[in-house]
Amino acid sequence: MKGKLSDSQAGYVLDHLGHHAVIGEALKGLFRFQRQGADSAPSVLFNTAREAFDPGKVIRIRDIPVLYPVGPEKDRFYTIRGKTLEFHHDLLKSAFHLLSGYEEYRSGARDDLGRFPYSASLQKSLEIVRRPVVNYYFEVILKGLEKFCSLNGIPFRRKPVFDRPVLMLSHDVDRLDAYHFFETAFKFKQLFGLAPSPYRLPGRFREAATALYHFSNPLSRYNPFWTFDFLHQTESERGFRSTYFFLEKDGRHQNSRYHFHEKRMCALFAELSDRGDEVGLHGTLRSATDQEAMNRTLKNLQDQSTEPVVGIRQHFLKYTPLETALIQTGAGLKYDATMAFAEHEGFRHSYCWPYRLYDHRNDRPLGMWEIPLTVMEGTFFYYRKLDMQSALESVRNLSVEVKKFNGVFSLLWHNHFFDESEFPGINALYIDILDHLHSMGMEGITGREIMDRMDRHEQALPG
């Protein structure tokens, strides 16, 4: 980013800072973005960087990278001298760069699904994917303001949206029938070496024979993908509620094999809503870049859901920077929950709170919220090839970071991802993860409830 932040960009960062503390107009009136003559009145100086981002100039203070350093100070973020609080480096621009996804928007790097890849990210090059750096910036700014206000008799109070860490537990419902014709046919493709399989020949034969038996037996009702009672029991025992994202069958594209209007689906939607869970949309591959497809699939789900559908997560985490956000906004959705790297767990935009998406093309924030995804179970086992203990350890480490800031830990676990023959110990791991997050004092609520709290907070702000 070349040049100082625009008023819209600076306001975007300060608005998000206001989710953590009361930044009233009186205090904002003391903010300065360039040095002025001698002034005996209290002031807060935010030094600004005009140069474009240069990875070679990034500095680290207390192991927190500053993307836009300004002054000669290399070992502290701010100084209070007399009645002046001076932030030595451009923390607002550093925060905007990460939080708004500026790097993704300006970069042409895309994988075969059109996604911005982890390999091209600052989170990888700076090795910060496991730390919500923007939250650290905000904490530095708030501590500086707190001391400054105390010394100068200026009212200041922290008033965060969340006073305890929150768990957004979600399930993407991609696959619903373990012994559907196409699922069974795929097992035979694996048997004959025509598709990849995690099993050796005896295991492939067992899987194919089992699939054929249940597919051809009209009396068999066994379906290991229909795990909704199990999910409800294990989660409700810990006081958690979930958000379920449902995927529509859409032509020959690699989406689901069920329809929203099926009788069993309508009954499931009603049951989930009655339990206090949320029904959300799992956007088809086409919907990520096609407004008509997005509108159609949202309407089809809304026609069958007993509650308004306000949230979405894109299938395969397919998300084209800005384009997908504009399509979701155009469909009237309230929040997205896609933002993560498929290849690595952590904090894709370096923030563990909900935030507004940004329209870089028109230099303005969007009304659409993002609830960033922290962990997807497939990342552990398909992309990173971790064992069960390493996966659990990663969850523990990330949850510690989230708890520091009373943030949102967003966990995605697919309804079909409980195959003990492919992943021995996977059921125990899921329960261990839930137990750990419960022990961290996390409140398990739905995406809709998170949005309600964000909205109530913003509506209560002065002016």
Write down the pLDDT at residue 208.
66
Say yes or no to pLDDT of 101 above 70: yes
Which residues, at least 6 apart from 426, have a Cβ–Cβ distance to it below 8 Å?
388, 417, 418, 419, 420
Strand runs (DSSP E) across 364-433, as ranges? Answer: 364-370, 375-376, 408-412
Write down the pLDDT at residue 180.
65
CB atoms under 10 Å from CB of 290, counted, come to 15
Are 414 and 382 in contact, with CB atoms under 8 Å apart? no
Are 9 and 15 in contact, with CB atoms under 8 Å apart? no
Which residues, at least 6 apart from 263, have a Cβ–Cβ distance to it below 8 Å?
none
Write down the pLDDT at residue 391.
98
Helical segments of 153-262, H only: 181-191, 201-216, 228-236
Write down the pLDDT at residue 421.
83
Q: Which residue has the tokens 């509506």?
A: 459
- For residue 325, give the H/E element and its range: helix 323-330
Mean pLDDT of 264-275: 97
In DSSP terms, which residues pair with 59 in a beta bridge? Answer: 66
Is the model more confident about 300 or about 185? 300
Cα separation, 183 vs 189, in Å, equals: 10
Query: Which region among 96-105, 233-242, 342-351, 417-426 has the lowest average model confidence (pLDDT)?
Result: 417-426
With cut-offs at 50, 70 and 90, classify the pLDDT of residue 458: confident
Mean pLDDT of 284-289: 95
With cut-offs at 50, 70 and 90, classify the pLDDT of residue 108: confident
Cα end-to-end distance, the chain, whole Å: 31
Write down the pLDDT at residue 236.
97
- pLDDT tens digits, one per residue of 206-221: 766 666 655 566 665 6
CB atoms under 10 Å from CB of 383, counted, come to 15
- pLDDT tens digits, one per residue of 71-97: 889 999 999 998 999 999 999 999 999
Mean pLDDT of 241-250: 94
Write down the pLDDT at residue 213.
55
Helices 263-275 and 291-304, axial angle in degrees (round to 10): 80
Write down the pLDDT at residue 40.
74
Write down the pLDDT at residue 261.
96
Write down the pLDDT at residue 252.
58
Write down the pLDDT at residue 37.
61
Cα separation, 457 vs 362, in Å, equals: 26
Is the model more confident about 459 or about 448? 448
Vertex 9 angle, CA 25 and 136, to 5°: 80
Query: Which region among 12-16, 188-192, 402-406 has the lowest average model confidence (pLDDT)?
Result: 188-192
Share of the chain above pLDDT 70, in %: 90
Write down the pLDDT at residue 71.
83
- Taken as a whole, the chain contains a residue count of 463
Give me 416's structure tokens: 């079909």
Are 437 and 374 in contact, with CB atoms under 8 Å apart? no
In DSSP terms, which residues pair with 87 in a beta bridge? Answer: 46, 78
Arithmetic mean of pLDDT over the chain: 92
Give me 194's structure tokens: 């025509």
User: Strand, helix or coil at 408?
Assistant: strand
> Going from the N-terminus, what domains does the chain have, and what CATH number goes with each?
7-152 (no CATH), 166-178+223-460 (3.20.20.370)
Cα separation, 153 vs 254, in Å, equals: 61
